[in-house]
């Protein structure tokens, strides 16, 4: 038997939570036409994704891809961090400089 070589589904979204161990919550927005009124509306959906190294931070723009079920809600894994969010220190109000590994 040969292994399947199909493409996995990918989504691009913003990290909205990193409070769980090795799990991030990614909000994916898309614009769709309303079925009755034909007005363009924005819809959002949250996806739970596996982040093994815990590299993603709050506000980062990330790409996630489909994966086998890892828990009750996790069916996605972090593929790459597209753009880092600016991290600001709450005490001083200055931008925190971090090295990207």
DSSP 53-85: T----TT-EEEEEE----SSS--EEEEEEEEPP
The boundaries of the domain holding residue 16 are 10-83
pLDDT tens digits, 8-19: 899 999 999 999
67 assigned to some structural domain: yes
Q: Looking at the 3D structure of the chain, how many domains does it have?
A: 1
pLDDT tens digits, 48-62: 999 999 999 999 999
101 assigned to some structural domain: no
| pTM of this structure | 0.82
88 assigned to some structural domain: no
Which of the 8 DSSP states describes residue 51? Answer: -
92 assigned to some structural domain: no
- pLDDT at position 97, please? 75
Residue 2 in this model has a pLDDT that exceeds 90:
no
CATH number at 43 reads 2.40.50.140
């Amino acid at each position: 038997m040969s292994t399947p070589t199909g493409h996995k589904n990918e989504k691009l979204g913003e990290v909205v939570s990193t409070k769980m161990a090795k799990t991030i919550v990614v909000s994916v927005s898309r614009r769709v036409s309303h079925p009755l009124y034909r007005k363009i509306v924005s819809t959002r959906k949250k996806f739970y994704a596996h982040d093994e190294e815990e590299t993603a931070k709050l506000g980062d723009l990330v790409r996630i891809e489909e994966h086998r079920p890892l828990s009750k809600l996790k069916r996605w894994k972090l593929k790459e961090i597209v753009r880092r969010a600016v991290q600001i220190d709450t005490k001083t109000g200055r931008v925190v400089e971090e090295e990207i590994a």
